[in-house]
Amino acid sequence: MPHTQQTVHAIVEKQRAFFRTGKTLDVNFRVEQLKKLKKAVLDHRETLEAALFEDLNKSPIEAYLCDLGPVIVEVNEILKGIRRWARPERHFSGLMCFPSTSTTVYKMPYGVSLVISPFNFPILLTLGVLAASISGGNTAVLKTSSKSAASTEALKKLVADTFPPEYVTVVDGGHDVADMCLAERFDKIFYTGSPAVAKHVLSEASKNLTSVALELGGETGNWCIVRKDADLRDAARKIAFFKLCNAGQICINVNQIAVAEEVADDFLKELKAEFIRQIGEKPEENPEYPKLITEKVYEKCETLTEQYRDRVVFGGTGSREAVKFAPTVIYPVGADEDIVLHELFCPLLPVVPFKDSEIESLLTVIADREHPLSMYVFTSDKKWAKRVMRTLQFGGGCINEVCIHMMVKGVPFNGTGHSGMGAYHGEWGFKEFTHPQTVLVGKTRWNLPLREHPYSGKAGERKRKLLKWFER
Neighbour count for residue 195 (Cβ, 10 Å): 19
Q: Distance (Å, rounded) from C-alpha 254 to C-alpha 374?
A: 8
Catalytic residue status for 89: no
Rounded to 5°, angle at Cα 71 from 205 and 2: 50
Active-site option among 181, 245, 251, 398: 251
Catalytic residue status for 97: no
Prior bond to 88 cis, omega within 30? no
3-state secondary structure of 209: coil
Q: Distance (Å, rounded) from C-alpha 225 to C-alpha 193?
A: 25
Active-site option among 215, 270, 284, 343: 215
Q: Distance (Å, rounded) from C-alpha 53 to C-alpha 327?
A: 19
Q: Distance (Å, rounded) from C-alpha 91 to C-alpha 94?
A: 9
Half-sphere CA count of 356, side-chain side, radius 13 A: 15
Q: Distance (Å, rounded) from C-alpha 374 to C-alpha 404?
A: 11
Per DSSP, the residues of 121-135 read STTIIIIIHHHHHHH
All residues at 6 or more sequence positions from 425 whose CB lies less than 8 Å from its CB, including other chains:
74, 77, 128, 132, 406, 411, 412, 413
Q: Distance (Å, rounded) from C-alpha 200 to C-alpha 216?
A: 13
Prior bond to 109 cis, omega within 30? no
Per DSSP, the residues of 347-377 read SEEEEEEE-GGGHHHHHHHHHHSPPPSEEEE
- What residues form DSSP beta bridges with 441? 102
**What separation in angstroms does the CA of 386 have from each of 189, 347, 394?**
34, 29, 14
Beta-strand relationship, 374-378 and 396-399:
parallel
Q: Distance (Å, rounded) from C-alpha 156 to C-alpha 169?
A: 8
What positions carry a catalytic annotation? 215, 251
